[in-house]
Amino acid sequence: MPFIVIDGPPMKTVDQKRRMVEKLTEAAAEVYGYDRKIIHVIIRENEPANVGAGGRLIADIHAERESGS
Amino acid sequence: MPFIVIDGPPMKTVDQKRRMVEKLTEAAAEVYGYDRKIIHVIIRENEPANVGAGGRLIADIHAERESGS
Amino acid sequence: MPFIVIDGPPMKTVDQKRRMVEKLTEAAAEVYGYDRKIIHVIIRENEPANVGAGGRLIADIHAERESGS
Amino acid sequence: MPFIVIDGPPMKTVDQKRRMVEKLTEAAAEVYGYDRKIIHVIIRENEPANVGAGGRLIADIHAERESGS
Amino acid sequence: MPFIVIDGPPMKTVDQKRRMVEKLTEAAAEVYGYDRKIIHVIIRENEPANVGAGGRLIADIHAERESGS
Amino acid sequence: MPFIVIDGPPMKTVDQKRRMVEKLTEAAAEVYGYDRKIIHVIIRENEPANVGAGGRLIADIHAERESGS
């Protein structure tokens, strides 16, 4: 503890994940006033067909945007 | 926010996911009295070997049922 | 299983919670094609000082709105 | 989406929560390359009697530390 | 890591929470083959009005049972 | 309900998952004093590149350890 879970889209590279873990950990350590050693992060990557915003799948919102409609 | 996470089995089609997001969003928007635009949904698909009910894997419960035992 | 967790603001009445559980369960049962008996819901009520949107506390967004600024 | 949930101890002030939301949002927005507007944060405050580390309650670890044993 | 979150009803005593943390940690440590030092547990206590089973609030199921209906 | 989620590394065999579900369920049933039939478990398997401890990816900690540095 503390324990951060971030739910977002699939990430592109391991380096992007590395920076995410570094920066979230740093932010939490600073605000809590804790050593960063005790802070854990889990990144959850969610496919656009498994996430909805405003009642629509992100996959559908993307498809519509790409078709220019 | 609000933010709905549904943990269930793997889903069969994108259309099934689309209806899940639509219906959960509609339900939450109506009860909260919110615009559906601000409601988010995440669907988590869990393999039957990763879920337990009553101390047994869903995978084992399914296998037993199929073998007629 | 399935399990639905909804994170939102504090709710006003038990009846509102009752309708939330009913409607989310009904939605999930219908889309999965499951008996509603096996569907569980947890409502998490979050104080406006414990939620952020766009980098700001919901508590601050509300305060600003009420002050008319 | 994205959605960040941070589970930690009770926080001392609203200002500490404000900084937590700001800094986590900023970190995620920068690494994803997203506008911070779409990033949400939920802070969960957990009592020391509801958290365990290494098989012991945080409440017990604190009590032991304070008694100097 | 690993991290165990258990969502259940309000617990009666700190000692009950202590045993829950001990036993869940022991179980996970043994099955993973890990030192229990790295295992964390969070207990979430949910009011019966915030949980639904089969489309009904646990609070309502309890009330009905107590009234003998 | 109750409902246990365990976030850990990928597991090696279905039998390991079977024992995890058995043991966590047994632990929770005993401490709550509930029938194990109503207890559910979800195992989440997280890749070492998706988990951070102390601000570093588990994948990087493993790589460093294996290279003997």
Instruction: Determine the residue of chain C that is closest to D7 in CA distance.
Output: C50
Q: What is the SS3 assignment for F52?
A: strand
E and A touch per CB criterion (3+ pairs under 8 A): yes
Low-confidence ranges of chain E (pLDDT < 50): none
- Residue C68 pLDDT: 75
- Residue E69 pLDDT: 59
Cβ distance B24 to A52 less than 8 Å, yes or no, reads: yes
- Read off the pLDDT band of F68 (50, 70, 90): confident
Instruction: Determine the residue of chain D that is closest to E4 in CA distance.
Output: D52
- Residue from the list C51, C59, C60 with its beta carbon closest to the beta carbon of D41: C51
Residue pair F50/A45 in contact by the 8 Å Cβ criterion: yes
A57 touches chain D (CB under 8 A): no
Q: Determine which helix (DSSP H) or strand (DSSP E) holds F43, and give its type and residue range.
A: strand F40-45
pLDDT tens string C24-36: 999 999 999 999 9
- Residue A69 pLDDT: 59
Instruction: Kindly report the CATH number assigned to the domain that includes residue B20.
Output: 3.30.429.10
Cβ distance E4 to F4 less than 8 Å, yes or no, reads: yes
- Read off the pLDDT band of F69 (50, 70, 90): low
Q: Per-residue pLDDT for C69 more than 70?
A: no
Best A3, A5, A6 member to test D by mutation, with max D CBs in 10 Å, is A6
Residues in chain B: 69
Instruction: Determine the residue of chain B that is closest to F7 in CA distance.
Output: B50
E7 touches chain C (CB under 8 A): yes
Cβ distance A51 to B40 less than 8 Å, yes or no, reads: yes
Strand partners, A20: none
- Residue B35 pLDDT: 98
Q: Find chain D residues with C-beta within 8 A of E41's C-beta.
A: 51-53
- Read off the pLDDT band of D51 (50, 70, 90): very high
Q: For C56, what's the count of Cα atoms within 13 Å in the CB-facing half-sphere?
A: 9
A40 touches chain E (CB under 8 A): yes
The owner of tokens 């690494």 is D31
Residue range(s) defining the domain that contains residue B49: 3-66
| Strand ranges of the sheet holding E56-57, from the earlier edge strand across to the other edge | A56-57, A51-53, B40-45, B3-8, C3-8, C40-45, E51-53, E56-57
- Read off the pLDDT band of C1 (50, 70, 90): confident
Q: Find chain C residues with C-beta within 8 A of D40's C-beta.
A: 51-53
F52 touches chain E (CB under 8 A): no
- Residue from the list B3, B9, B30 with its beta carbon closest to the beta carbon of C7: B3
- Read off the pLDDT band of B69 (50, 70, 90): low
Supply the mean pLDDT for chain C. Answer: 96
E50: distance to nearest CA of chain A, Å?
23
Q: Per-residue pLDDT for B1 more than 90?
A: no
C and E touch per CB criterion (3+ pairs under 8 A): yes
**Interval A12-24 mean pLDDT:** 98
Q: Find chain C residues with C-beta within 8 A of E57's C-beta.
A: 14, 17-18, 21
Strand partners, F51: A42
A and C touch per CB criterion (3+ pairs under 8 A): no
- Residue from the list A14, A39, A45 with its beta carbon closest to the beta carbon of F54: A39
Cβ distance F43 to B51 less than 8 Å, yes or no, reads: yes
- C33: burial class by Cβ within 10 Å (0-12, 13-18, 19+)? exposed
Of C18, E20, A33, the C-alpha closest to F39 is E20
Q: Per-residue pLDDT for C55 more than 70?
A: yes
- Residue A1 pLDDT: 85
pLDDT tens string F6-60: 999 999 999 999 999 999 999 999 999 999 999 999 999 999 999 999 999 999 9
Cβ distance B8 to C27 less than 8 Å, yes or no, reads: no
Best D7, D21, D38 member to test C by mutation, with max C CBs in 10 Å, is D21
pLDDT tens string B33-63: 999 999 999 999 999 999 999 999 999 999 9
Residue pair A32/A1 in contact by the 8 Å Cβ criterion: no
- Residue E34 pLDDT: 97
Cβ distance C58 to B1 less than 8 Å, yes or no, reads: yes
- Entry pTM: 0.97
Number of domains chain A contains: 1
F38 touches chain C (CB under 8 A): no
